[in-house]
Amino acid sequence: MAKLLDPARLGEFGLIEALKHRARVAGHAWAEAIGDDAAILRPRKDHELALTADALVEGVHFRWETTDPRSLAHKTLAVNLSDLAAMGARPRGFLLSLALPPIAVPQRLDGFVAGLLGAARRFACPLVGGDIVSSPAWMFSVTAVGELPRGTALLRRGARPGDRVMLTGQVGGSALGLALLEAGAGRETGARPFVRRHLKPEPRLEAGQKLRRWGIARAALDVSDGVAQDLGHLARASGVGAELDIDRLPRPRGFGAACQKLGLEADDLALAGGEDFELLFAVPRKAPEASVFSKRLGCPVAEIGRIRGGRGVSLLRDGEPVTLARLGFDHFKPAAPSTDK
C-alpha cells in the first residue's frame, strides 16, 4: 500500500511526485501531464476544447465535520464534469489546485486524493496538472477540459418560442439528502439514496454527448441551482420566456413521504432544490416524445414545460398558473447575476 500523502513529510515537490505516481496518466490524449511547466493536450482534428472550473473552500462550501474526504473529492470532479456534460463534451482531463493549511491533516488529503483519482478513472478523465499553495483554509479547485467536434456544443442560448422543455432523471433528491443530513437523519432507513445523491452526484456525461450528436436540442444546461432557476437561465440566455409544469417534475421514489416526514414542501424542493446535476434542454415542437429521448439518451427523460415569448418563468399546476409565494417567486424574474456562495 502506498504511504499516506502527508504534506509535512513530503513537502511540495514530494507531494507532486506522489500525485504523479498515483495519477499514472498514460496513453491518453496527453503528450505531457504532471511534471513539466504545463500539460500538453493533443486535441483531435476538427475538435475544440471546453474548459470549466469550480472551487470548494473550507468553511464556505464544506465543513470537515460533516464531510468525508472521498465524497467531497467525487463531488468536486463531478460538478465540473456536469458542466462538460451540459455542453455535450467528452472529458479529457483536469487540473487540481490545492490550498493546504500549514498543519493539514494527512488523512484528509489522502482520502481526498484517493476519492478524486478513483472518480478520475471511472470518468476516464485523468489528473494532468495543478498547483499547491499554503493557505489559512483548505481549498480544492478543479479545472476540467473537455473535447467536442467544432461548432457542435450545446449552448444555453438558442431556445425559441414553441419549443418543448425536457429534463433527464429526477429533481429534488439532492436537496432532500442535504436536509436529511442537516436534520441528523442521514442514516435512517430510506435516507440513503437521497444522501448519496447529494454527496455523490453523477454527471450525465453519456446523455450529454448523445444529445449533442443527435443535434436535436436547441439549448441545454445542467441543473445546479434548481430546475426553476436554471430554466430561467436558459430562457434568459435565449431571450425568451418559459412555462414549467410543477406536477410533471419527476421526483425520486419515496420523495414525497420523506419530505413530509421532515416537514418540507415537496414541490419547493423539486423546483428550487439545487445540485441534482440533471440536463435540462429545449427541443423543437415537432421533436419526438419524451420516451423516445429516454431510449436514445439511455436515461429517464420527462417533458416538463415549454418555451414561450416574453421573459421569465411561469409556474403551472394542472395547466393553471400558480404562485409559490414562500419561495419568493411568482412568475419570477430571470435571476440577477450572483456570485457563488
Strand partners, 280: 167, 221
The dihedral built from the CA positions of residue 81, 84, 89 and 92, taken in this order, carries a sign that is: negative
Looking at the Cβ atoms of 12 and 48, the one nearer to Mg ion is 12
As measured in angstroms, the least distance from the Cβ of 97 to ligand ADP is: 6
219 Rama class: left (phi>0) / alpha (psi -120 to 50) / beta:
beta
Per rule CB under 5 A, is residue 182 in the interface with Mg ion?
Answer: no
Per rule CB under 6 A, is residue 65 in the interface with ligand ADP?
Answer: no
Compute how many residues bind ligand ADP; rule: CB under 6 A: 13
As measured in angstroms, the least distance from the Cβ of 82 to ligand ADP is: 21
Compute how many residues bind Mg ion; rule: CB under 5 A: 1
- Alpha-carbon distance 288 to 209, whole Å? 18
Phi, psi of 289 (to 5 degrees): -75, 170
Question: Which residues in 29-184 belong to E strands, given as ranges?
Answer: 30-32, 40-41, 47-57, 90-100, 127-134, 139-149, 164-168
Per rule CB under 6 A, is residue 37 in the interface with ligand ADP?
Answer: yes
Per rule CB under 5 A, is residue 131 in the interface with Mg ion?
Answer: yes
Contact 313, 242 (CB under 8 A): yes
Site string for ligand ADP, 102-131 (x = CB under 6 A): -------------------------x-xxx
**Stretch near Mg ion under the rule CB under 5 A, chosen from 123-131, 184-192, 241-249, 321-329:** 123-131
Q: What is the dihedral of CA 249, 255, 261, 264, to 10 degrees?
A: -30
As measured in angstroms, the least distance from the Cβ of 133 to Mg ion is: 8
Per rule CB under 5 A, is residue 36 in the interface with Mg ion?
Answer: no
Residues lying near Mg ion in the complex (CB under 5 A) are found at 131
Binding region for ligand ADP (CB under 6 A)? 16, 19, 34-37, 96, 98, 127, 129-132
